[in-house]
Amino acid sequence: MVVENKEKKSKAWIIVAIIVILIIVFVVYFLGTKGIFKILGTFITILWVLAILFGGAYLFYHLFIKKHRFDITYVNKQRLIEAGKLNIKGYNVGDLYLSGDAGHSRVCLGKIKGYCRVQILTRTSVYEDKTDKEGKVVKVEKKVLDKETNTYVPVYDSGKEEQDVFSVAKRGIMSFFTDPYVIRVSPEEHDDIVGDVTLKGFSLLPHSEFWFLNSDYLDVRKIDYAILKEAERGIMFETLRDMKSIVDKATGVDSEHKKFIEKKNLVEVPEANK
């Protein structure tokens, strides 16, 4: 598959080179060498205009349209995107595909912009055998008494698993104005990370800030619990950072805050009436 994609790309470059050569021959034959410089000048001018318009639109979007919010799950998503950009340098990858099924061909999801492998926490309910009123043995969720609340709470088995995280950007100019899609799958749910990568699934579904395969969408054990624990850790570290800022201001270590307080407390002494 990788060899076929390389052959297609090489053929495309050959076709582009032939078209460029034909255009140059056509311009030289009908307009002379001066015509080439005129066309190049016009082309450079168009590029400058497009660059200015695109740069202005990009700044306008980030300053006035894009929502700058604090959402710990969104912050974790951005951190995974940055980690993916850092780790993707060691991989020769292309596009990300969805395999589909027997009746549907695979679908290109976009260009892989980042990849990293993380560990996630999982939580599985513990079941035990009990006899019902009819004398049959059934599986029921195990519960223990919580002495603080005096209520019975479920028992869980906690563990950890590895998970692969792909950052995928759609092709086209709109990819500059949108965040990459962050897709989280188990390592066995895709093929080798070389060239184009294919996910083994029928469709992708969103959950919180991330995308998962349809076969994992209802897996509370490794989706809901993992996202919840990541959010708890993120909130803890953000709280510690805020506490440090408060302590620095209270103890006078924060020089900017100290200057602000001193300036605020300045009192102008009125002159005595003669």
CA atoms within 13 A of residue 136's CA, in its CB half-sphere: 4
Q: What is the pLDDT of residues 128-165, one digit of tens each?
A: 888 877 778 888 888 888 888 888 888 888 888 899 99
Higher-confidence position of 93 and 67: 93
Instruction: State how far the Cα of 78 lies from the Cα of 179, in Å rounded to an integer.
Output: 9
Quick one: pLDDT at residue 142?
Answer: 83
pLDDT band with cut points at 50, 70 and 90 for residue 9: low
Handedness of CA 208, 213, 215, 216 (dihedral sign): negative
Span of 40-44, 75-79, 90-94, 195-199 with lowest mean pLDDT: 40-44
State residue 174's pLDDT score: 65
pTM score over 0.85? no
Q: What per-residue confidence (pLDDT) applies to 212?
A: 93
Residue 3's pLDDT band, with cuts at 50, 70 and 90, is: very low
CA distance 165 to 81: 9
The pLDDT value given to residue 103: 65
143 touches 153 (CB < 8 A)? yes
Between 151 and 175, the more confident residue is 151
Order of strands, sheet of 156-169, starting from the edge strand that comes earlier in the sequence: 195-199, 93-98, 107-125, 156-169, 181-185, 210-213, 204-207
pLDDT given at position 138? 81
pLDDT band at 2 (very low <50, low <70, confident <90, very high): very low
Per-residue pLDDT for 74 more than 50? yes
pLDDT single digits (tens) 250-270:
776 666 766 776 676 665 555
More confident residue, 259 or 1: 259
Nearest alpha carbon to residue 66 among 206, 181, 178: 178
Distance (Å, rounded) from C-alpha 60 to C-alpha 65?
A: 7
> Which tops the pLDDT comparison, 213 or 248?
213
pLDDT digits (tens, 9 = 90+) for 83-128: 999 988 878 888 999 987 766 678 889 899 999 999 988 888 888 8
